[in-house]
A and B are shown apart, each in its own frame.
Chain A
Amino acid sequence: MQDPETGTQPTQASQHHDAGAHGQGGDAHAHDHAPHLAHHFDTPTQQFESGKLGMWVFLATEILMFGGLFAAYGMYRGNHPEIYLYAHHYLDTTLGAINTIILLASSFTVAWGVRAAQKGQRKLLVTLLLLTLLGGFGFMGIKAIEYTSKFTHDLWPGSANMFYNPTLNPMFADANDPRAAQLEAIRHLEEYYGIRGGHGGGGHGGGHAGAIEQPRITLTDDADPGDAEAASGQGEAPGPSPAVERSMINPPAVGAGGLSEEALGEAPSHVAPHMPAAAAGATLTYEDLPPTEQSRAHMFFQIYYMMTGLHAVHVLVGLGLISWITVRSFRGAFGPAYYTPVDLVGLYWHLVDLIWIFLFPLLYLIH
């Protein structure tokens, strides 16, 4: 969908050289045809500015398109903070942080590349663009690793997601009691991801290492399957299950997109004593969630996949555009007099970076 936008760029501006503009400004009239000047523009400057204006308008549309997803995110997070608090543990913060740095670095190389084009440094420009491509592919590679590891644990987008409403979930369609089968599967998943203590999670436990280490809390009062069954009673259960009880004790302060941590932070009775007080984020388990929230827990993954998926599509488009720019700059198409495509593709790539700057803390660093 971006291709039509940049598809005009071959018609677009050749650019005044800083020095040349003043020297030639006086005699630059309609007959002075710069090689890249389209017939309906009077000057290369006008053409360059038009291209930039058009690109910024297009970026505005991109911002609003993602804006819809951010609104959906904000609405669900505002109303169901526990889901986000619980489900974000399935994301790998280390990989997310690495991807952030990769994208920032590729943004830097593109910005540098525009400068190199403006200065006419062709080899430097090609090198920087190749580095940017490398960053983009690296980002997509890591994204692929993240997605694959989720798919192998049945954390799919859509109705195949582990947390999907059990009566609708095709995974549990043939179980006698889909609800129990789902709870069992989720328990195993939580153990694997180290959300639930006990047998020690698998490889992904390490994903939360380092600066973002989150203590694994074993909640002591929710191991009884009988309680879990009670909790599954879709809120009809008069005797509140531990999950409901805890929620009552610690009502989440629901902010607009704001997350209540203070409530969970002050819940010492449910928190294992070895936990460092400074990092008191208790790791919720599925059964800690109120029943109404349990049936919505899959929503985090749906929004995660929609947001990162649409972002990934934009990265792929950006990679295509940068490849095209790289080939052209290798052929020496750009220089101080004409670098509009580099500039515009750079703007697009920065926007992709911008979106990720917001996606990273909102999805991976929920607290």
Chain B
Amino acid sequence: MTDDHAHESPRQASTSTELHAPDHDAHAAGHAAPLWLLAAVFAALLVLTGATVAVTQIQLGPLNVWLALLIATVKAALVVLYFMHLRWDSPFNATILISALLFVAVLTGAVIHDSREYRPLLDRPQSTPRRVAVAGQRDRRRPSRAGCGTAGTRDGAK
């Protein structure tokens, strides 16, 4: 999609008699990652594993889970960039990975957001103080949610 400036295809070079551009060949041939780099990445992964266990000792409230996810993401990035060679790989492969993650984020985000929206309505018959407290707490951020418009529909559906 991006190489629209020329009518090129991957087979272009092979049928012409030109040499490959050197930088093109470098990534195509596969980059042999230096051993010290692989070892350093492995060491960093171990340190981060220790860190993720250690931070559970710290009370950060809801931030704990985000911190754990952040550390996991850093670890995953190290694995992807160096162990999986993505740093030296065709950028399109990175595009594939990133779009996969984006779509997971879309799905997860929508599901979590939606379920949090409708959940108080589902639990209302049983909602003794806890639900009230939760709803009240959220009202600070979203004042309109108490008068949620689909309440009637939902009761009908139930």
Binding site for B on A (CB under 8 A): 15-18, 21-22, 25-26, 28-30, 42-43, 45-46, 48-49, 52-53, 56-57, 59-61, 63-64, 67-68, 70-72, 74-75, 77-79, 93, 97, 100-101, 104-105, 107-108, 110-112, 114-115, 118-119, 211-212, 234-236, 240, 244, 247-248, 251-262, 265, 278-281, 290-292, 339, 343, 346-347, 350, 353-354, 357-358, 360-362, 365-367
A211-B57 CB under 8 A given contacts A25-B25, A49-B28: yes
Contact of B30 among A75, A118, A248 (CB under 8 A): A118
Whether A59 and B97, one on each chain, are in contact in the complex, defined by CB atoms closer than 8 angstroms, is yes
Chain A residues near B30 (CB-CB < 8 A): 15, 48, 118, 339, 343
Residues of B within 8 A of A77 (CB): 65
Given contacts A104-B42, A211-B54, A251-B137, contact A361 B90 (CB under 8 A): no
- Residue with the greatest number of chain A CB neighbours at <10 A, chosen from B29, B68, B103, B127: B29
- Least CB separation from B66: chain A residue: A258
Chain A residues with CB under 8 A of B130: 244, 247-248, 251, 290
**What's the Cα separation between A163 and B114 when bound, in Å?**
27
Q: Which residue of A lies closest to B125 (CB)?
A: A235
Contact B111 A248 (CB under 8 A): no
- A248 and B93 alpha carbons, distance in the complex (Å): 50
Does B71 sit within 8 A of A, measured CB to CB?
yes
User: Which residues of B line the A interface, CB within 8 A?
Assistant: 10-11, 13-15, 17, 19-20, 22, 25-26, 28-30, 32-33, 35, 38-39, 41-42, 45-46, 49-50, 52-54, 56-66, 68-69, 71-72, 75-76, 79-80, 82-85, 89-90, 92-93, 96-97, 99-101, 103-104, 107-109, 111-113, 115-116, 119, 123, 125-130, 133-134, 137
Question: Across the interface, which residues of B come within 8 angstroms of A350, CB to CB?
Answer: 79-80, 83-84
- What are the 10 closest A-B residue pairs judged by CB atoms, nearest first? A67-B104, A258-B62, A235-B126, A262-B61, A60-B100, A248-B129, A361-B68, A42-B14, A251-B133, A255-B62
> A361 and B52: CB pair below 8 A?
yes
Given A253-B62, A258-B66, A71-B112 contact (CB < 8 Å): yes
B107 touches which one: A15, A22, A68, A353 (CB < 8 A)?
A: A68
A53 touches B104 (CB 8 A): no
A-B contact pairs, 14 of them (CB 8 A): A18-B26, A21-B28, A56-B97, A64-B104, A111-B33, A111-B83, A211-B54, A247-B133, A248-B129, A279-B59, A339-B30, A343-B85, A354-B80, A361-B69
